[in-house]
């Protein structure tokens, strides 16, 4: 705040246009007129300022643009995975309550609820299949770390990139291709539960075999984009 009060009258008196944030003054420099009485000489110019101290258009940096776009794309895909994981996580609460109600109905009232039992199984499938991408985003999947934790940022980025491109995405594509006819056949007959009082939505549950690899591929692309950005910038994003 003290620097603001000092520099603002200086800038105004010398007719210097300042574009930026006063809270980060070390990134901006000005040139004062020689006849200004308070300061004899203060000449430090940014790379995009002319001789009068006026800031011009910032030069285009292709590498910086690539890093920014890769980071933005990774952030967008992360947001998608995080949103799905956030809402799917509530199924864990439903599973606990449903299991408690199922045990209570069976052992206290002697009532068997097949639909409720199947809903618990389906909820677990939803929680696992839809939450896998968010778990990948958080780095929560099981991994055997021998060298990864000891590597620098670029070394970790190389492993993340290669692992995503040559392991994660190919395996997900294989799952997607193999599961397609199986899921399509279930949709053709609108397959339901084998139990008469079960849930008639088994074909929807089998559709998770297609949704699961798609979400993992999208999150894998986010990991790959972030790794590329780290390789180009050399810093963790």
The answer to whether 10 touches 39, Cβ cutoff 8 Å, is yes
pLDDT, one tens digit per residue, over 102-155 is 999 999 988 889 999 999 999 999 999 999 999 999 988 888 778 888 889 899
Over range 66-95, report the average pLDDT: 94
Over range 27-33, report the average pLDDT: 43
Over range 87-112, report the average pLDDT: 94
Mean pLDDT rounded to a whole number for the chain: 80
Contacts of 28 (CB under 8 A, 6+ apart): 18, 20, 46, 55
pLDDT computed for residue 39 by the predictor: 41
pTM listed for this prediction: 0.72
- Token pair of 125, please? 């499938």
Three-class SS of 114-147: HHHHHHHHHHHHHHHHHHHHHHHHHCCCCCCCCC
Kindly state the DSSP code that residue 235 receives in the 8-state scheme. Answer: S
* Least-confidence region, from 37-46, 80-89, 112-121, 208-217: 37-46
The answer to whether 47 touches 29, Cβ cutoff 8 Å, is no
pLDDT computed for residue 53 by the predictor: 52
Burial state string for 69-100 with b = 16 or more CB within 10 A and e = fewer than 16: ebbebbeebbebbeebbeebeebeeebeebee
The answer to whether 160 touches 226, Cβ cutoff 8 Å, is yes
* Least-confidence region, from 23-32, 42-51, 174-183: 23-32
pLDDT at 36 > cutoff 90: no
- Token pair of 233, please? 């910038």
CA distance 233 to 230: 5
pLDDT computed for residue 145 by the predictor: 78
Domain map of the chain by residue range?
1-59, 73-233
């Amino acid at each position: 705040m003290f620097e603001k009060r000092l520099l603002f009258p200086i800038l105004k008196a010398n007719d210097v246009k300042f574009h930026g944030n006063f809270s980060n003054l070390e990134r901006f420099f000005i040139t004062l007129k020689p006849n200004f009485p308070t300061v004899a000489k203060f000449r430090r110019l940014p790379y995009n300022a002319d001789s009068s101290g006026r800031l011009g258009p910032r030069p285009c940096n292709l590498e910086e643009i690539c890093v920014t776009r890769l980071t933005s794309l990774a952030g967008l895909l992360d947001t998608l995975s995080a949103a799905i994981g956030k809402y799917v996580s509530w199924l864990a609460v439903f599973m606990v309550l449903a299991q408690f109600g199922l045990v209570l109905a069976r052992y206290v009232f002697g009532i068997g609820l097949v639909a409720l039992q199947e809903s618990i199984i389906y909820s677990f499938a939803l929680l696992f299949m839809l939450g896998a991408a968010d778990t990948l985003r958080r780095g929560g999947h099981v991994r055997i770390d021998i060298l990864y934790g000891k590597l620098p940022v670029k070394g970790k980025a190389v492993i993340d990139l290669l692992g995503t491109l040559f392991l994660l995405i190919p395996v997900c594509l294989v799952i997607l291709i193999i599961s397609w006819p199986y899921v399509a056949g279930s949709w053709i007959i609108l397959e339901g539960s084998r139990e008469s009082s079960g849930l008639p939505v088994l074909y929807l549950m089998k559709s998770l075999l297609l949704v699961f690899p798609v979400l993992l591929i999208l999150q894998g692309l986010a990991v790959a984009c972030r790794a590329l950005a780290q390789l180009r910038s050399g810093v963790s994003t």
